[in-house]
A and B are shown apart, each in its own frame.
Chain A
Amino acid sequence: MNRKISAILSLVICILSAIVLVIGVFLFPKLFARFYETYHLLGPEFLLKEHPAYTVIPTFYLCSPFAAAALFMLIRLLVNIIKEKVFVRQNVALLFGIACSCYAVFAVCAAAATRYFPLVIVAFAMGVVGTLLLVVKSVMRSAVELREENDLTI
């Protein structure tokens, strides 16, 4: 039981770190741009509108709210699991919310891929993850119904 809780807590810490990173990049865009400049050696090419940064950075900022929402819902899901509330309707709704966030990121990246094609990889990955989560949600909903029936079997 302790190993399970520590594994889930490690996941929660990772997700919290990701949330802090997403919010930090959203609130401090100059730092993010400086990081991009430092590690991608932006030069005069940045002035060209065809440069990928004109597509990648706005795409990232558009996807940030959906990513933050998905991460918050994931934390709530993990907290419910820690509290041993696994097969409950709230978790089904949380899984559906995370899937919708993935599909939203898929839509944004798919649109951005028309300007910068490599983003199609991110779009495809988010589409697959969203679909997987919808399947897991359906399985979880069936499990909730079975649990409720079992609870009401005297």
Chain B
Amino acid sequence: MIAINLDVMLAKRKMSSGELAARIGITQANLSILKTGKARAIRFSTLEAICRELDCQPGDILEFKEV
């Protein structure tokens, strides 16, 4: 499975989940779905917005885990 590790980058940038959600234009509930790994897919536009706001690369937040 592909895991999205937002907590580390949020801590590095000293940003809260709510603030990130508001900046990238999604609800906190959807951001929570991303963080908890319940999302089935992520749009490139959402990934682009996350990387832009957190000033990081997709590889910094995406991780492949064997299930």
Give chain A's interface residues, CB within 8 Å of chain B: 148-149, 152-154
Chain B interface bracket (under 10, 10 to 19, 20 to 34, 35 or more): 10 to 19
Q: How far is A149 from B43 in the complex, measured between Cα atoms in Å?
A: 12
Give chain B's interface residues, CB within 8 Å of chain A: 26, 30-31, 33-34, 38-43, 46
Q: How far is A153 from B47 in the complex, measured between Cα atoms in Å?
A: 12
Main secondary structure of the interface of A (DSSP, over half): mixed
Contacting residues, chain B, for A152 (C-beta < 8 A): 33, 38-41
Contacting residues, chain B, for A148 (C-beta < 8 A): 40
Q: How far is A131 from B40 in the complex, measured between Cα atoms in Å?
A: 33
Contacting residues, chain A, for B33 (C-beta < 8 A): 152, 154
Contacting residues, chain A, for B46 (C-beta < 8 A): 154
Known: A149-B40, A154-B34. 12 other contacts (CB 8 A): A149-B41, A152-B39, A152-B40, A153-B39, A153-B40, A153-B42, A154-B26, A154-B30, A154-B33, A154-B41, A154-B43, A154-B46
